[in-house]
Amino acid sequence: MLSVGVKSQKLVLDFVTRMSNREDPGPIDPLNISGAMLALAKAMGGDRDAVAAAQTAWLNNFMLLWENTARRMLGGEAPAVVEPAPGDRRFKAEAWRENEVFDFIKQSYLLTANAMQEMVGKLHGLDEKERGRVAFYTRQFADAVAPTNFPLTNPEVLKATIASNGENLVKGLDNLLADIERGHGELSIRQSADGFTVGENVATAPGKVVFRNHIMELLQYSPSTDEVHERPLLIFPPWINKFYIIDLRPENSFVRWLVGQGYTVFLVSWVNPDPDMAQMGFEDYMRDGIFAALDAVEKATGVKDPNCVGYCIGGTLLAATLAYMATKDDKRVNSATFWAAQTDFSEAGELSVFVDEAQLDALKQKMDSEGGVLPGSKMAGAFNMLRANDLIWSFVINNYLLGKQPMPFDLLYWNSDTTRMPEKLHLSYLRNCYKENALARGKMEMAGVKLDLSKIKVPVYLQSAKEDHIAPAASVFKSVNLFGGPVRFIIAGSGHIAGVINPPAAKKYQHWTNDKGAKDIESWRKGATEHPGSWWPDWDKWLSKLSGKKIPARQPGDGGLKVLGDAPGTYVKVKAQ
C-alpha cells in the first residue's frame, strides 16, 4: 500500500506540474462534446413523452431483474433480462454469469446503457447529424463507466488483487506512469509489446526504393515469379497511417501475395510531415505524389498507364486526381481499384462526429500551436474512440488494473506507429469531403479544375467491408453511381483493416459479389452471392485481364531509375509523437 501511495502521489504531482507549465492550454472542449450534450438536453426537454417512455421501460426491466436475481439467490433459476451484444467481450469471465451479484451488476449496466441509446434514437428534435453525434458520445460515456473498468466491480481484477496482495495494482501504476512518460505528459496507452522493428520483422517484402522526393518514396518490389504482367500495379496507401499495413508479416503480406501472382508492384511510402509541409494540400499530393509516381513508374518500366490502387484516404485522393486527369484528357491510369475508400461522404460513418465548425476551429488551433501539423497521437486517439472497448478500455483493464504487459501484436504495433498531418491538407480534406461533401457534389476544385467524378471512364473495382466503421459499405457503394465507367463492387467480411488484409491461405471471413449490379446498396445485398474466404482472388481475376501479356520478370533498377536503397525505405521509419 505504501508503494501505491508513493506512486499515486508522484502521478498527481507530475500532472499538476504539467498543467501549471502549459503555455497554451488550447480549447477547453476540442471535441465539442458540450454542443452534443446541449442538443440532447434540448431534445429531451421538447420530447418528454419519449423520455418518460424510456424511463418506464427501463424501470420495468429493472424490476424484472431484481425479481430474477432474488430467485437465483434463493436457489432457483431465471433467464437473463439482457445479454451483452454479439462481439462484446467485456463480460466473458464466468463470474459475470455464475455469481449472482456480478451478474446483477452486469445486467444493470447493460439495461441502463441500452436504454440511453434507445432513447437517443427515438427523441424528436434532433437532426440526423446531431443524433449521430449524441449517440456516439452517449456510447463513449456508457463505455467509460462500464463495471469492467473499476477494480471493485470487476471480478477478474478483484481475484488478481487478492491473489497477488495488490501487486497487480502496483504494476498497473508503473505501467500508467510509463505510458504518461512516453506520451510526454499525455496518456499514451501501450497496445503492443515492443517486439517489432520496421524492416526486420514487419515490412520485410524484398524490394528497393527507386524514387524519392519531399512527399514520398516509391518502392518497387522484387519479383518472385519468372514472368510478370506487362502492366505494373501502383498502390497509394493512406497517409493517415504508414504503408506497411499491407506488408506486415510474410503470411499476411498483401504485397508478397501480389508479387506472387505475377504483378510488378510499386508502392508509395508517404513522408511523415514536419511543420515545413504545413501549407501543402491536395494539389501537392496529386502533383508530387500521384503524378510523380506515374512518371517514375514509366521510367522504370516503359509503361505509361499502370493499374492503380487507392486505400482509404489514398483512394479519395486517387479519385479526385482521376477526375482532374479526365478533364485534362490525361490517360496515364489504365484502371483504378479502391480499397475501403469513399468519394461520397453523405453517410460517411462515425468519423463524421468529429467534423463541425467548433471542432474544426479547435483542430486548427491545435495544429497552429504545433507549427502547422497535427500530432499523430491525436489522430490515433480519434480512431481508437471508434472502437473504445477494444482499443482503449481493454488495455486500461489489462495494463493498469491487472498490471499485465501487452502482448506483441503486429497490427496493434502498426496502429500505434502514427504519422503527423499537414494543416492545409488535413483541414481541406475534412471540410471538402466530410463537412461539405464537395467531391461527390462536383464542387471541389484542384489546381483550378472543378472535379466531376462522372468523367472518370476507366474500369473501377470497389472493395468495401461489411463491418467497416470508417468507410461503411453503404458509403463506398455510392461511388458506383458517381463514376462514369464500368464498376465492379464487392463487400468483404470483417472491417476496415481485416476486410482488406485477408490472405486466401487464412481461409477466414467471406465476401459477396453481385454480377447483375444494382442502383442502391439494399438491392445489391438482396441479389448478392456469398463466397467463403478472401476477396483477393476475385480482384486478381478482374485485374489480370487489365494487366496485359506476360513478360520476363523485372528487377528494381533494370529500367531508367537507379536504386536508392532497400525497402522499406527511410520515410516509414520516422517516428511521430
Question: Active-site residue numbers?
Answer: 312
Long-range contacts of 89-98 (CB under 8 A, 24+ apart): 89/389, 89/390, 89/394, 90/146, 90/148, 90/389, 90/393, 90/394, 91/148, 93/155, 93/156, 95/155, 95/156, 95/159, 96/155
Strands (E), 141-181: none
Can you give the three-state secondary structure of 117-128, one letter per residue?
HHHHHHCCCCCH
Provide Rg for the chain, Cα atoms.
26
DSSP string, 214-242: SSEEEEEEPPSSSEEESS-EEEE--SSS-
Three-state secondary-structure class, residue 386: helix
The amino acid present at 536, given as its one-letter code, is W
Nearest to 103 by CA among 86, 82, 85, 75: 82
**Eight-state DSSP code of residue 349:** -
Helices (H), 252-356: 254-260, 282-285, 292-301, 313-327
330 CA to centre of own chain = 32
State yes or no: cis peptide before 532, omega within 30 of 0: no
Q: Which residue, chain included where needed, has cell 485481364?
A: 545
Nearest to 141 by CA among 470, 395, 362, 388: 388
Q: How far apart are CA 359 and CA 400, in angstroms?
A: 30
Please tell me the chain's helix, strand, coil percentages from 3-state DSSP, rounded to the nearest 5.
50, 10, 40
Q: Which helix (H) or strand (E) holds 491?
A: strand 487-492
**Number of Cα atoms under 13 Å in the Cβ half of residue 435:** 14
Q: How far apart are CA 397 and CA 194, in angstroms?
A: 19
Nearest to 490 by CA among 458, 453, 454, 527: 527
Q: Which residue, chain included where needed, has cell 465548425?
A: 357
Residue-level length of the chain:
577
Q: How far apart are CA 127 and CA 526, in angstroms?
A: 29
Nearest to 571 by CA among 212, 204, 195, 210: 212
Q: How far apart are CA 488 and CA 493, in angstroms?
A: 17
